[in-house]
Chains A and B, each alone.
Chain A
Amino acid sequence: MSNLRTPLYQWHVDHKARMVPFGGWEMPVQYTGIGPEHKAVRSTAGLFDISHMARVSFRGTDALALLEKVFTNSVATMKDGQVRYGLVCKEDGGILDDILVYRWPYEFAAVINAGNRSKILAWLETQRTGMAVEIQDQTLDTTMIAVQGPKSVALVAGMFADDVSALKYYYAIPSRYKDKPCVVSRTGYTGEDGFEVIVPNALGVTLWEEFIAKGAVPCGLGSRDTLRLEAAMPLYGHELNETIDPIHAGLAWAVKLDKGDFIGRDAIQKATADTTRPVRVGLEIEGKRAAREGCPITDADGTNCGTVTSGSLCPWLDKSLAMGYVNPQFASVGSALDVDVRGTNLPATVVPLPFYKRKK
């Protein structure tokens, strides 16, 4: 099966992006370099083509009921225009995906990981039986662009029919761009302030180039990954999968056990009392070598006590950082461990997450 291409594909190729397959799409991994792109986001503003993320709408009298059933966070308590992060779990509490839910006066929407699009659509199809809800996959009709970094607010000034700089964090507004409908949300996956914008495909390149003309630096998925790692945001397929529950992933805040029944609730409730399973931690590794996914973590005696799920030298902090799962007795901050990187044991310390937090 060949990979899908976003409406910005030709732009990426014309601007010397290195393209790689990701989640069923052909995406830019970098333009000039992961380091400079990462630093641009932390210091000014960076631009990401995130059109590969799946965008799905939910309409009908049971739209709320369906979302409450499949989503671990509360939807009923959301205000119009609010955006909320949460998980979609199986009955056993294993995570199928981490998603964003948007609440509008007239419908709901969700942004789903690219690689999980067909899995989640199939899951929703199974779960909606007997419910009056219309689910529409709008991924291929729209372009989604993220502008991230401290200069984002200045950058969006005057671009949209509404003053989107007034948006609160994790809120969205339906607006107009070049007189066509668009959605702007104050969300992101970099640890910086910023916006994510959904426009009709016909305006994708126009919006992208307007951001660039205003000084945003085009960034690829390479820096998106190092940025989210520095900000300690989990990535599905690494920190999250179907064998990990939200509690041990450190995402209890995105689970509302008291909101009423939802799929996985009982198992997650049990997981809150389970003190034996490995938990997600942050590791700072001595030196500049990176720990990679799958590297074994050992205790002072050399006994295996965990596994790395993501790791890289992080461009902004200039430290070798990793996330991974370790047995709970080794999970406290300050715990001294080793990471086995291709046969070399590198000393590592458990440090608080997130590694990086922007100044407000």
Chain B
Amino acid sequence: MSNPSNLRYATTHEWAKQDSDVVTVGVTAFAIEQLTEPTYLELPAVGAALKAGDKFGIIESYKSTSDLYSPVSGTVIERNEPLVDEGKRKGDPKPVNDDAFGAGWMVKIKLAPSATLDHLLTAEQYDQQLASEGH
């Protein structure tokens, strides 16, 4: 599995993709491989304010339940709605499994003033983290 070089990474296995002041966030293919296929996803409401490192959601698999952490500070402006359960509508987080870096994106966050992605790992650094963890 390769981690795209145009993304930045949190040590907690979320990825962040910047397009001017909007950052798209998801979790890495490595994280999904560890969790096994996702069965349930909980995401923050549009408008939620997050600081880098804040818990922003929950991802569940048949095997485990894990927290998701925001890689950046800002405000949620969009969610990947089809992935999420809401009222009677049952979401399907399958795209997270099939395309973690693409269709499986989770939220778009408008960066807070002066917030950056500088604290996040580059793909190369993230690869090194995985290697040092023995993966």
Interface contact A312-B33, CB-CB below 8 Å: no
B90 at the interface (CB under 8 A from A): yes
Task: Give the docked Cα–Cα distance between A226 and B90 (Å).
Answer: 21
CA gap between A85 and B60 in the complex, in Å = 33
| Residue from the list A30, A222, A225, A289 in contact with B60, Cβ < 8 A | A289
By the criterion CB–CB under 8 Å, are B40 and A33 in contact? Answer: no
Q: Is A54 an interface residue, CB under 8 A from the partner? A: no
Verify A226–B62 contact, CB threshold 8 A: yes
Set of chain A residues within 8 Å of B39, measured between Cβ atoms: 35, 288, 290, 313
Do the beta carbons of B85 and A222 come within 8 Å of each other? no
Rounded to whole angstroms, the CA-CA distance of A223 and B62 in the bound complex is 9
Least CB distance, B108 to chain A, in whole angstroms? 24
Q: Mark A269-313, 1 if CB is under 8 A from B, else 0.
A: 000000000000000000111101000000000000000000011
Once the chains are docked, how many angstroms separate the CA of A15 from the CA of B95? 24
Q: Is B58 an interface residue (CB 8 A)?
A: yes
Enumerate A213-232 residues with CB–CB distance to B below 8 Å.
Answer: 222-223, 225-226
Min C-beta distance of B31 to chain A, whole Å: 13
| CB-nearest residue of chain A to B60 | A290
Contacts of A226 in B (CB 8 A): 62
Is A84 in the interface zone, CB < 8 Å from B? Answer: no
Chain B residue contacts of A29, Cβ below 8 A: 36, 63
- Mark contacts of B8-44 with chain A using CB atoms, 8 A cut-off: 1 yes-contact digit, 0 otherwise: 0000000000000000000000000110110110100
Contacts of B36 in A (CB 8 A): 18, 29-30, 33-34, 222
**Complex: A165 Cα to B85 Cα, angstroms:** 45
Q: Does A342 contact B (CB under 8 A)?
A: yes
Q: How many residues of B contact A (CB 8 A)?
A: 17
Contacts A18-B33, A287-B85; is A313 near B40 (CB within 8 Å)? Answer: yes
CA distance A18 to B39 in the complex (A): 18
Chain A interface size range: 20 to 34
Asked, given contacts A288-B40, A313-B39, whether A222 binds B58 with beta carbons under 8 Å apart, the answer is no
B65 within 8 A of A: yes
Given A288-B85, A289-B60, A313-B60, A342:B37 Cβ within 8 A:
no
Does A347 interact with chain B (Cβ within 8 Å)?
A: no
Check if B61 is an interface residue, CB within 8 A of chain A: yes
B40 to chain A: closest residue by CB? A288
Most B-side CB within 10 Å, residue of A290, A341, A342: A290
Please give the distance in Å from B20's CB to the nearest CB on chain A.
Answer: 35
Q: A313–B62 Cα gap in the complex (Å)?
A: 6
Please report the C-alpha to C-alpha distance between residue A226 and residue B39 in the assembled complex, in whole angstroms.
Answer: 13
Q: For the complex, what is the distance from the CA of A203 to the CA of B73, rounded to whole Å?
A: 57
Across-interface contacts of A312 in B (CB, < 8 A): 62-63
CA of A217 to CA of B36 in the docked complex: distance in angstroms?
17
In the complex, chain A residues whose CB is within 8 Å of the CB of B65: 290, 292, 341-342
CA of A313 to CA of B42, assembled, Å: 15
Neighbouring B residues of A225 by C-beta, 8 Å: 63
Which A residues touch B63, using CB under 8 A?
A: 29, 34, 222, 225, 312
Contact B62 A222 (CB under 8 A): yes
Q: By CB atoms of chain B within 10 A, which of A225, A288, A315 has the most?
A: A288
Chain A residues positioned under 8 Å from B40 (CB to CB): 288-290, 313
List residues 319-360 of chain A with CB under 8 A from any CB of chain B: 341-342
CB distance from B79 to the nearest CB of A (A): 17
Q: How far is the CA of A313 from the CA of B65 in the complex (A)?
A: 11
Query: Chain A residues with Cβ under 8 A from B37's Cβ?
Result: 33-35
Let me know if B62 and A34 touch, CB within 8 A.
yes
Closest residue of chain A to B91 (Cβ to Cβ) is A288
* Chain A minimum-CB-distance residue to B39: A313
Expressed in whole angstroms, the Cα–Cα distance for A223 and B42 within the complex equals 24
How many angstroms from the CA of A180 to the CA of B62 in the assembled complex?
Answer: 39
CB-contacts of B74-128 with A (<8 A): 85, 90, 97
Residue of B nearest to A314 (CB): B62
Interface centre among B34, B39, B58, B61 (most CB of A within 10 A): B39
B interface, CB within 8 angstroms of A? 33-34, 36-37, 39-40, 42, 58, 60-65, 85, 90, 97
Known A35-B37, A313-B60, A342-B58; 14 more pairs at CB < 8 Å = A29-B36, A30-B36, A33-B36, A34-B61, A38-B62, A222-B36, A222-B63, A288-B39, A288-B40, A289-B40, A289-B42, A289-B60, A292-B64, A312-B62
Q: Can you list 10 A-B pairs with a CB-CB distance of less than 8 A? A: A18-B36, A29-B36, A29-B63, A30-B36, A288-B40, A288-B90, A289-B42, A290-B60, A312-B62, A315-B62
Chain A to chain B: the 5 pairs with minimum beta-carbon distance, closest first? A34-B62, A313-B39, A288-B40, A33-B37, A312-B62
